[in-house]
Chain A
Amino acid sequence: MRHIISLLMENEAGALSRVAGLFSARGYNIESLTVAPTEDATLSRMTIVTSGSDAVIEQINKQLNKLIDVVSVMDLSEGEHIERELMLVKLRAEGEAREELKRLTDIFRGRILDVSDHTYTIELTGARVKLDSFIDAIGRDLILETVRTGASGIGRGNRILSL
């Protein structure tokens, strides 16, 4: 099953490689991994999307907790949460298609950030499935380039990951 694991870790050189190294050394899947400092500059927040059996996910959580640089860990997918990913996609946009692409972008609540004679660059935010279906709707033929950040996540309501 797909899990979104969120963690706070010391914002120190090498901390990221400890997490990445753990996943490769133990053969765990990583679908995506994002990391950036938080409002407290000593801490980084990381979101890892992974998959595995319940036993594997349990081990992943325990192994992450065991890393000395990791301050706290939460499996967001165990409860109510919000997942967002940012995608920038550059499309071939010529002639008739330009209008249709604009319309599709509006339907998906995307924004056109950059326009040239032949291209549109679109920004789209949402859960993975939404971004995937946008790509499906456009069709791969028109896509020149995509950049995705990987998922970030946060718990709903009182589910807070803190020190």
Chain B
Amino acid sequence: MEMTGAEITIRCLQEEGVEYLFGYPGGAVLHIYDAIFQQDKVKHILVRHEQAAVHAADGYARSSDKVGVALVTSGPGLTNAVTGIATAYMDSIPMVVISGQVPTYAIGEDAFQEVDAVGITRPCVKHNFLVKDVKDIASTIKKAFYLAKSGRPGPVLVDIPKDVSAHKTEFVYPATVNIRSYHPKGKGDSQQIRQAAQMLLEAKRPMIYAGGGVVLSGAATQLTELVKLLGFPCTNTLMGLGGYPANDKQFVGMLGMHGTYEANMAMQHCDVLVAIGARFDDRVIGNVEHFAQVPRKIIHIDIDPSSIAKRVKVDVPIVGDLKLVLDEMLTVLRSSRQKPDAIEMGVWWKQIEEWRVIGGGLRYKNSSEIIKPQFVIETLHKLTFGDAFVTSDVGQHQMWAAQYYKFNHPRRWINSGGLGTMGFGLPAAMGVQLKHPGETVACVTGEGSIQMNIQELSTCKQYHLPIKVLSLNNGYLGMVRQWQEFFHGNRFSESYMDALPDFVKVAEAYGHIGMRIDNPADVEPAIIEALSRKNDLVFMDFRTDPTENVFPMVPGGKGLSEVVLSEDL
């Protein structure tokens, strides 16, 4: 039977097992919306802004191991989606975005709502397609899902002109994909793995540095086994949190700009470093020259060769999927008669403990007068037993959530690390809540960030998403204010937002529950109350200390050991 391109598009999504399609209609996708209307397998979630559609699909993907899917119209629909696509790209999130395009015969004529979608998104997608013939829709969507999910994941855009979605053809969904130019590596090179294992066994001051790749690959179990087997210290990047249990004593905390003193010092002074699905970001190792001053051997495991030796020289590169590489490495290590040198390990751990003492751990001075943002996160952690899904926006609140909500499982911490997109938190939480109905989903945000996608409170109402929004309202674009305090002589240029709305009323206007919390003593009761409202979205407007800063901090461009510790204590 012949089907229209639009019907084929939706059939393909059904074949891929897509549960939710996050989208927003418009002229160029009307045929596709018509096809959506005539089926009920793929549920469409109508957001209030296309950026939110993409972030919601992203949150859905991050909290599961599935591909997120979004649908937007041509022109402004697509341009609104770009921030979301770039966000997913920077953090390697598997996603398929379908956009409408003006009819093929109008392309290039500056037609109404025409933009060069493939051109605009080219630098921020793993790959993109313009489908010019209805016969190519099915095979293209098949390829899109395969590309999004395999190898180093990423967003893939499929741009479908309006006439193509109206044309008819037979529907055949290909069973397999073969892209002759694309062969992501699975297994790592055995020789290199053996060499790496040997290097680890001979290390005197080893360090395991694990990133978002562990979460993406589903290799948290393997990582934990490796760390336990060797008895080495382990740190996570912001993207890797939950990849190793934060409550374990071999965990030295997050590293990087706002990482713990001990993690950064161990990173700087180790003699053998193994990077596992982590890409030596500038927010992680700071100044590259400073990092290179201390000689150390580096083993780098990553599925993307271009992540290896990009910013630092690597001694043993291993290209492959972490799960398979770590499995093989574990086998090699278990069968080796050699064990890490116990005496050297004792000395190294003693050194790390000393750093722990000097750094003083993550700490802040609590107050009975004013709410400290860290206290809110600690309380949330306590009341949710560290088991909630936590999404966040971008700023100081994001760092406090990362530091104080100790994640023990992967895919629980959902944040925009690479692009640092304010406005990510709430729509991402929608995707997470849809994927995990009945679970606690907390969105930690700031009064600045939340206003970048606050309209999604309306979507949350429509689909009954009982997200718990914790807004750490410090009255400032706090992260900007902090940099201005440290590096721009306290000149708080445009980091103060006058005329904030009454967030309680805003929440109520959207049909939700709003709470304003001014007193430290009310923090715990408020969160208890919010959590008890299983079916309601509760917006908690915590009035927090406007002067609080995030510590420790390695100032931009500085080396890892040039850290600024908290001044309070």
Task: State the A residues within 8 Å of B (CB).
Answer: 9-10, 13-14, 17-18, 21, 25, 55, 58-59, 62-63, 65-66, 68-72, 163
A71 x B180 contact (CB < 8 A): yes
Cβ of B470 within 8 Å of any chain A Cβ, yes or no, is no
A-B contact pairs, 12 of them (CB 8 A): A13-B130, A17-B119, A21-B123, A25-B123, A55-B309, A59-B306, A59-B309, A62-B305, A62-B306, A66-B304, A69-B181, A72-B181
Candidates A25, A55, A63, A68; contact of B181 at CB < 8 Å: A68
- Residue of A whose beta carbon sits closest to that of B181: A71
Compute how far the CA of A69 lies from the CA of B127 in the bound complex, rounded to whole angstroms.
9
The proximity string for B residues 163-193 relative to A, scoring 1 for CB distances below 8 Å and 0 otherwise, is 0000000000000000111100000000000
- Residue of A whose beta carbon sits closest to that of B118: A14
Cβ of B122 within 8 Å of any chain A Cβ, yes or no, is yes
B182 x A68 contact (CB < 8 A): yes
Tell me which residues across on chain A come within 8 A of B258, comparing CB atoms: none
B262-307 residues with Cβ-Cβ distance < 8 A to A are 304-306
Nearest CB of B to A90, in Å: 35
- Residue of A whose beta carbon sits closest to that of B306: A62
Candidates A14, A68, A163; contact of B126 at CB < 8 Å: A68
Tell me which residues across on chain A come within 8 A of B123, comparing CB atoms: 21, 25
B182 x A65 contact (CB < 8 A): no
Cβ of B147 within 8 Å of any chain A Cβ, yes or no, is yes
Tell me which residues across on chain B come within 8 A of A25, comparing CB atoms: 123
Nearest CB of B to A44, in Å: 12
- Residue of B whose beta carbon sits closest to that of A8: B181
Tell me which residues across on chain B come within 8 A of A55, comparing CB atoms: 309
A17 x B181 contact (CB < 8 A): no
Cβ of B310 within 8 Å of any chain A Cβ, yes or no, is yes
B305 x A65 contact (CB < 8 A): yes
Tell me which residues across on chain B come within 8 A of A63, comparing CB atoms: 306
- Residue of A whose beta carbon sits closest to that of B180: A71
Tell me which residues across on chain A come within 8 A of B305, comparing CB atoms: 62, 65-66
A17 x B122 contact (CB < 8 A): yes
Q: Known A-B contacts: A62-B306, A66-B304. Give 7 more (CB < 8 A).
A: A10-B181, A21-B122, A58-B309, A66-B305, A70-B181, A71-B180, A71-B181
Nearest CB of A to B247, in Å: 37
Candidates A13, A18, A163; contact of B122 at CB < 8 Å: A18
Compute how far the CA of A35 lies from the CA of B181 in the bound complex, rounded to whole angstroms.
18
